[in-house]
């Protein structure tokens, strides 16, 4: 089958795989190779990858590949045997986090990590009610669909269960509060839920530090501080989903939550930490980990296996050795100023936001009504793909261009992306 043409591959896939696996782009890509910030199709054409944040240090980064190969050839087994790799990885990881976040659990995906975070929170608080942000996505399991309004309120969804309470996403561009008091006003909604719950008890609050599928949103500076205080006051725990935003991506800080001066009780990690290898992790306080250690064993067959730990350690070391956080800040600042310059020339660009290599460009048909330019966003993404640049869309109306490249994305790549986007906006939109 490896010799099949692109259309044959598509037909075979349609026959053998579930129909709700989506395919990117009107003219799908058959990708056969990756190297750093580039992907290559079956004909050898190169694509600049400007949105796959999973390949954090770069597709097939040689250091990560080598670490995986060497460990695969030596040993790959589970956490029931002593081995130094898992301790080294946990020690490296916790060194990047505030001191209170000191106990690690390793699993195989962001979904598994969020599932485990919920179990930890429930074990610690003995409560179930959870506050989530509207439009949030936290993973693909049954429970995580329940806590992901993006899914349970969307096509095919059947709404939230009674223990899930969604509050407005603190979006200062499109949301209901946009002024200097927005942080407080959005936090009021959390406080309202807590008051309504009364003595029923709160398990916690979960949010991405910069909501991603919600539209590459930067929260008002004071929002999480106010929310965390209220949640803790009601006996709940605060969970930061850093699956998309951690590991230096936002440039200014290593972790998204740090940019608001807060410290969560549980941090959830995934995607970039394995650079494509399936790793998820939960890091929490000794106290919460203590409540979870209630006699029931926690075991994940593959979570924390030797190969995953070797890869995880190497990815983290690479992020630090290659100063990728500083790089993200420099390139991100440059991109923001170039995108803002495009905004001054094209009315369709309503908002440019984000930080480092986590950027969003919101497209609107009217800057007053903010009517989403959804079809235009789709057209742009497909035309960019035709020019060899891969972008995606995000946000409740799919009208936000997401720019979230592998971190080696450099100045030349940025210039190229801007030049092509400029040309498309001028001639096609
Ligand atoms: N949390 C967030 C914020 C995510 O974006 C995702 C995946 N898109 C997940 C959790 C789930 O991760 P996974 O797909 O690895 O299970």
Specify the residue with its C-alpha closest to ligand 1, atom 2. 138
| Residue-averaged pLDDT of the chain | 97
CA angle, 237 then 241 then 243, to 5°: 155
One domain, residues 154 and 48: no
65: pLDDT strictly greater than 90: yes
- Decide if 15 is inside a domain: yes
One domain, residues 24 and 92: no
Which burial class, exposed, middle or buried, applies to 342 when counting CB atoms under 10 A from its CB (0-12, 13-18, 19+)?
middle
Long-range contacts of 140-145 (CB under 8 A, 24+ apart): 140/111, 141/111, 141/112, 141/115, 143/115, 143/118, 144/111, 144/114, 144/115
One domain, residues 284 and 140: yes
- Mean local confidence (pLDDT), 325-335: 98
- Mean local confidence (pLDDT), 65-76: 98
Domain stop point among 284, 301, 321: 321
One domain, residues 197 and 215: yes
Range of the domain at 364: 6-57+323-428
One domain, residues 10 and 153: no
- Decide if 329 is inside a domain: yes
- Mean local confidence (pLDDT), 277-300: 97
One domain, residues 103 and 18: no
62 CB-near residues (< 8 Å, 6+ apart): none
Domain stop point among 321, 337, 370: 321
One domain, residues 70 and 49: no
pLDDT 10s digits, 45-61: 999 999 999 999 999 99
List beta partners, residue 388: none
User: What's the length of the chain?
Assistant: 429
What 3-state class would DSSP assign to 361?
A: strand
Tokens, residue 203: 């398990």
One domain, residues 276 and 206: yes
17 φ/ψ sector (left φ>0, alpha ψ -120 to 50, else beta): beta
For position 371, which CATH number holds? 3.90.1150.10
What proportion of the chain, given as a percentage, has pLDDT over 90? Answer: 98
Q: Which residue has the tokens 């806590």?
A: 147
One domain, residues 307 and 330: no
Closest ligand 1 atom number to CA of residue 271:
15
- Decide if 279 is inside a domain: yes
Q: What is the pLDDT of residue 200?
A: 82
- Decide if 198 is inside a domain: yes
Q: What is the pLDDT of residue 132?
A: 98
DSSP assignment of 224-250 equals HHHHHHHHHHTT-EEEEE-TTTTTTTT
Domain stop point among 321, 342, 364: 321
1: pLDDT strictly greater than 80: no
- H/E segment holding residue 152: helix 149-152
How many angstroms separate the CA atoms of 333 and 340, rounded?
11
One domain, residues 317 and 329: no
One domain, residues 297 and 338: no
- Decide if 304 is inside a domain: yes
- Decide if 1 is inside a domain: no
Residues lining ligand 1, Cβ inside 6 A: 109-111, 114, 137-140, 208, 212, 241, 243-244, 270-271
Q: What is the pLDDT of residue 3?
A: 83
Q: What is the pLDDT of residue 429?
A: 85
22, 53, 55, 111: residue to mutate for ligand 1 pocket, most atoms within 8 A of CB: 111
pLDDT bracket for residue 159 (50, 70, 90): very high
What proportion of the chain, given as a percentage, has pLDDT over 70? Answer: 100
pLDDT bracket for residue 321 (50, 70, 90): very high
22, 117, 244: residue to mutate for ligand 1 pocket, most atoms within 8 A of CB: 244
| Model confidence, pTM | 0.97
- Decide if 310 is inside a domain: yes
Q: What's the gap in Å between 280 CA and the centre of ligand 1?
A: 9
pLDDT 10s digits, 7-20: 999 999 999 999 99
Number of domains in the chain: 2
> Which of 129-138, 197-206, 240-249, 297-306 has the weakest average pLDDT?
197-206
One domain, residues 78 and 157: yes
For position 145, which CATH number holds? 3.40.640.10
pLDDT 10s digits, 353-380: 999 999 999 999 999 999 999 999 999 9
pLDDT 10s digits, 213-272: 999 999 999 999 999 999 999 999 999 999 999 999 999 999 999 999 999 999 999 999
How many angstroms separate the CA atoms of 9 and 11, rounded?
5
């Amino acid at each position: 089958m490896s010799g099949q043409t692109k259309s044959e591959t598509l037909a075979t896939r349609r026959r053998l795989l579930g129909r709700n696996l989506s395919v990117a782009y009107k003219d799908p890509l058959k990708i056969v190779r990756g190297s750093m910030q580039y992907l290559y199709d079956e004909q050898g054409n190169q694509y600049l990858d400007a949105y796959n944040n999973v390949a954090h240090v770069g597709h097939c980064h040689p250091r990560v590949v080598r670490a995986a190969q060497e460990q695969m050839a030596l040993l790959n087994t589970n956490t029931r045997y002593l081995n130094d790799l898992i301790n080294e990885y946990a020690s490296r990881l916790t060194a990047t986090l505030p001191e209170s976040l000191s106990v690690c659990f390793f699993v195989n995906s962001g979904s598994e990590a969020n599932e485990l975070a919920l179990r930890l929170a429930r074990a610690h608080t003995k409560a179930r009610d959870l506050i989530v942000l509207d439009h949030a996505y936290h993973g693909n399991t049954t429970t995580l669909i329940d806590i992901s309004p993006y899914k349970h309120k969307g096509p095919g969804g059947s709404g939230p269960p009674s223990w899930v309470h969604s509050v407005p996403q603190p979006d200062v561009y499109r949301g209901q509060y946009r002024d200097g008091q927005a942080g407080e006003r959005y936090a009021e909604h959390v406080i309202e839920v807590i008051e309504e719950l009364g003595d029923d008890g709160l398990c916690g609050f979960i949010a991405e530090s910069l909501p991603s599928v919600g539209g590459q949103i930067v929260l008002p500076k004071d929002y999480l501080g106010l929310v965390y205080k209220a949640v803790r006051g009601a006996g709940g725990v605060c969970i930061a989903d850093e699956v998309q935003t951690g590991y230096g991506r936002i440039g200014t800080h290593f972790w998204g939550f740090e940019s608001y001066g807060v410290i969560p009780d549980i941090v959830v990690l995934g995607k970039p930490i394995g650079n494509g290898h399936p790793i998820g992790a939960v890091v929490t306080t000794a106290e919460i980990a203590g409540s979870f250690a209630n006699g029931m064993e926690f075991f994940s067959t593959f979570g924390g296996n030797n190969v995953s730990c070797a890869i995880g350690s190497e990815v983290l070391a690479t992020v630090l050795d290659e100063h990728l956080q500083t790089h993200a800040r420099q390139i991100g600042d440059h991109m923001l100023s170039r995108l803002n310059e495009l905004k001054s020339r094209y009315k369709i660009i309503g908002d440019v936001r984000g930080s480092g290599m986590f950027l969003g460009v919101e497209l609107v048909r009217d800057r007053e009504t903010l009517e989403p330019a959804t079809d235009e966003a789709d057209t742009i993404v497909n035309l960019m793909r035709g020019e060899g640049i891969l972008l995606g869309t995000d946000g409740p109306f799919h009208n936000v261009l997401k720019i979230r490249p592998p971190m080696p994305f450099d100045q030349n790549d940025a210039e190229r992306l801007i030049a092509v986007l400029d040309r498309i906006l001028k001639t096609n939109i």
